[in-house]
Amino acid sequence: MACEVPPLESTRPDLPAELTRTVHRALERDPQKRFRTARQMARALARVLRRVAEPTDAEPLGESVALARERLKLPPRDLPPSQLVPLRRSRPGDLLGEGDDDLRESVEIPAFPSAKD
């Protein structure tokens, strides 16, 4: 990486500490400190999701996306009604199922060369 990644806590102090540790590990400059496989990272994220007490709600998520788009100066997306997806409340476990059965394949993540190489 050519630059330092700002700490996630500086922009989202409300996130669980375990999630920020997982994200920081994935972004480590030293490849030896990163997850060795996508499966390892998926398992770490699954552990975080299982511990989240609150359901994921589409309304706050939509607000977060709108704020992020605003900060990034992205134009608003106007979709025709035919392309809108109905929103529903979901729990993190809904996304992964029980356990790690759906994480069958492991994929090696190649190390990116540093900017100094």
Domains of the chain by residue range: 8-72
- Alpha helices by DSSP H, listed for 27-57, are 38-51
Spatial distance between the Cα atoms of 8 and 17, rounded to a whole number of angstroms? 10
pLDDT in tens, 43-81: 998 888 888 766 666 667 777 777 877 777 766 666 666
Cα 93–chain centre separation:
15
Q: What is the CA radius of gyration of the chain?
A: 17
pLDDT tens digits along 25-49: 999 989 999 999 999 999 998 888 8
0.85 cut: is pTM over it?
no
pLDDT in the model for residue 46: 86
